[in-house]
Structure 1
Amino acid sequence: MVAATTSETWDAAWTLTMRAHRKRLTDNISDSYPTLGRFRKAGVMEVETGGKEIQEDLMYGLGSSEWFDGFDVLSTNAVDGITAAFYQFRYNATSVVISDTEDAESRKAGSTKLITAKSKQAMTKSFDTVNSAIFGSQSGKSMLGLQDICAESTGTTLGGISQSTNTWWDNKREDFNASYTSFLTKSGDQYEGTLRMGAMWNECSEGNDKPDLILASFTHYGNYEAIFEGTGMTRFVESGKRAGPNFGLGAEGDVTFRGAPVIADRDCTTDNMYFLNTKYLKLKVQGGKNFAKTPFREPSNQLARVAFVVFGAQLVTNNRRRQGVLYDLA
């Protein structure tokens, strides 16, 4: 016997009001937003109160220091060595629209509240948009992304500072495909993928300053896992070992590389892997615009109510050379 079906076209109001059902709304469309989630949990998101721009003060040079004896003449030359990067806030709005007829039809006893469902729908879309923007590049009125901060090419300008004339203001980069075959190709007893991960790690490190978060697509996250699964060994975060320097960025069960959690994100460019030091990377959020919901208002010529989920922020860095990207991974 053929399964019973209905031929109704379901819109939001009908879905939430007709027939007996559990009071839940299950997301079947958006990507997860692991990177934004980790940023929020680990303090990478910082709230700023007011201001049109974000100023990050930078030190790029040191003064003179010399050994002397007795009445030696000492240098009094002034050394600048201090400047600032400036970033503008960017704003995103996601609408919540409910007509009077939808509102009336959704008042059936036991139905999911339409306003609750629509608000969740808008909030999910807002999270999804911001997480995607983190991995993108600035375009139009969007915020900066990792493709801007960890640029694949030289000579870029970020925060009003040109890397062409300020070599200290450049991220680390490596074109994997230019010299290597594939992530899982062996070079002696080692894999090309992990060899280049180690090289990029070292490039981004100095002393105790090391990457504390690695972001990858599911393709190369899977390749990294496959290397250890093939040997019967995996490096991961245990529940009893989460109080280290990366606490908050890592979660129990995360695969790690040299102590830093490796996170897969569907929004990450397929052939990129980012090595981040979140000590110098922040998602600055405008106070009062942290996924804030505006009051509902009625248009003058419609029987409906409109509200918005508003997010104002900018992705910034104050030490670009501590951030890196492996790109064109194969």
Structure 2
Amino acid sequence: MASPGLSEIVTTTLRNRTGVLADNMSKNNALLYRLSKRGKVKPVCGGRTIVQELEYAENSTYQRYSGYELLNVSPSDVISAAEYDWKQASVAVTISGLEQYQNSGEEAIIDLLESRISNAEKTMRNNLSADMYSDGTASSGKQVGGLQLLVADVPTSGTVGGINRASYSFWRNQAFQATSDGGSAASATNIQRYMNTLYQRTTRQTDKVDLIIADTNYYNFYLNSLQAIQRITSDEMASAGFQSIKYMGADVVFDGGIGGGCPSNHMYFLNTDYLMWRPHRDRNMVPSGDVRSINQDASVNLILWMGNMTASNCQLQGVLFQT
């Protein structure tokens, strides 16, 4: 069996990198980076589900009156909540007794561990980033419910946060299908017209889209539709390493290319005031501690994450797409 000393090295090394991993996660994903910047990464202490409060209606007691006219003081039910299930993810870092003694000396062991830990961190980062675009159905529904769930191509059906979208129109996002709603497939010629329509649908007074995420095709359509003088970039996003340009004050971010998470021929219009990343406070990229095999000469440590992605307003989110 692997020595306790080795397990301590693994655990300590992972624990020291926990905060770095959580921080690097946001630097790997434009949406999570924006949520982090806007204070929308909110750890949860626990509970059976993740409860996300939402306002679904205006107060019905507003009235115009004169003099001694009686005023409406009836209770007004305007607050509800969506409930999101917990999702969990793990990546294992292992080392055998043979590898321990082949790499004798603490420094040699740490060198071996660092390469494996670095790979494990990238694996966790990349997979959770991809999950942020998902519909939550992978692995028999154990996947994080991402943008394809919260900002769906077909928002009139399905259940999000325990609320049936077929029954409640306030819980449906905006969707613009290029061919059926615009008349033809998206191109550099019409992309701005389509974007204008969706932008207007997702605007409510001062509430408006602040982040637009596009795949390779739609990003290039928008980029090619602009004259060089119009291509204003975002200092904030550029300094964080994300390729972006501006549209109506919103950052248009490219998330295509190798390993890009945005689905093909999709452009998401996001009001990040109403989107949240909700990790469990005690399971946000943390090591499990020593896990020793009872029938193998090996030591295993797990990087663990638990949480979900939530929305508190879907009407102000939109997707431009072509199926």
Question: What range is the shorter-chain TM-score in?
Answer: 0.7 to 0.9
Q: Quick check: 1:107–1:113 contact (8 Å CA) kept in 2? A: no
Quick one: distance in 2 between partners of 1:251 and 1:207? 31
1:183 to 178, 182, 186: 186
Judged with a 3 Å threshold, the aligned counterparts in structure 2 of structure 1 residues 114 and 37 are, in CA distance, closer, same or farther, namely farther
Judged with a 3 Å threshold, the aligned counterparts in structure 2 of structure 1 residues 287 and 328 are, in CA distance, closer, same or farther, namely same
Report the equivalent of 1:213. Answer: 211
1:103 to 100, 104, 122: 100
Tell me by how many angstroms 1:111 deviates.
8.7
Q: Which has the higher contact order (CA 8 A, sep 6+)?
A: 2
Quick one: distance in 2 between partners of 1:238 and 1:149? 26
Task: Report which stretch shifted further, 273-282 or 162-171.
Answer: 162-171
Q: Quick check: 1:39–1:45 contact (8 Å CA) kept in 2? A: no
State how many pairs are aligned: 285
Q: Quick check: 1:204–1:322 contact (8 Å CA) kept in 2? A: yes
- 2:172 is paired with a residue of what secondary structure? coil
1:258 to 238, 248, 259: 248
Quick one: distance in 2 between partners of 1:217 and 1:254? 12
Report the equivalent of 1:320. Answer: 314
Quick one: distance in 1 between partners of 2:267 and 2:136? 19
Report the equivalent of 1:44. Answer: 40
- 2:128 is paired with a residue of what secondary structure? helix
Tell me by how many angstroms 1:203 deviates.
0.8
Q: Quick check: 2:212–2:252 contact (8 Å CA) kept in 1? A: yes
Tell me by how many angstroms 1:236 deviates.
2.9
Is 2:261 the partner of 1:267? yes
- 2:261 is paired with a residue of what secondary structure? coil
Question: Deviations for 1:23-74, whole angstroms, at most 9, x for unmatched residues?
Answer: xxxxxxxxx9333652464233221222232222222222222233344344
Letter in 2 for 1:180: G
Question: Deviations for 1:100-139, whole angstroms, at most 9, x for unmatched residues?
Answer: 1122223488797111111111111001110110111112
Q: Quick check: 2:171–2:313 contact (8 Å CA) kept in 1? A: yes
Report the equivalent of 2:19. Answer: none
RMSD: 2.6
Judged with a 3 Å threshold, the aligned counterparts in structure 2 of structure 1 residues 306 and 47 are, in CA distance, closer, same or farther, namely same
Tell me by how many angstroms 1:232 deviates.
2.6
2:88 to 80, 85, 91: 91
| Long gaps (5+) in structure 1 | 1-31, 186-190
| Long gaps (5+) in structure 2 | 1-26
- 1:287 is paired with a residue of what secondary structure? strand
Quick one: distance in 2 between partners of 1:317 and 1:264? 22
Report the equivalent of 1:5. Answer: none
- 1:104 is paired with a residue of what secondary structure? helix
Question: Deviations for 1:151-185, whole angstroms, at most 9, x for unmatched residues?
Answer: 11112221111122211111000111223334335
Judged with a 3 Å threshold, the aligned counterparts in structure 2 of structure 1 residues 110 and 83 are, in CA distance, closer, same or farther, namely closer
Q: Which one has a bigger Cα radius of gyration?
A: 1
Q: Pairwise mapping of residues 101-250 of structure 1 onto structure 2 (< 5 A)?
A: 101-107=98-104, 113-139=111-137, 140-153=141-154, 154-178=156-180, 179-184=182-187, 191-228=189-226, 231-237=227-233, 239=235, 242=236
Quick one: distance in 1 between partners of 2:75 and 2:302? 52
Q: Quick check: 2:244–2:254 contact (8 Å CA) kept in 1? A: no
Quick one: distance in 2 between partners of 1:195 and 1:250? 29
Judged with a 3 Å threshold, the aligned counterparts in structure 2 of structure 1 residues 261 and 222 are, in CA distance, closer, same or farther, namely same
- 1:129 is paired with a residue of what secondary structure? helix
Letter in 2 for 1:207: Q
Judged with a 3 Å threshold, the aligned counterparts in structure 2 of structure 1 residues 251 and 41 are, in CA distance, closer, same or farther, namely farther
Letter in 2 for 1:145: G
Report the equivalent of 2:292. Answer: 298
Q: Pairwise mapping of residues 19-30 of structure 1 onto structure 2 (< 5 A)?
A: none
Quick one: distance in 2 between partners of 1:208 and 1:280? 14
Q: Percent identity?
A: 23
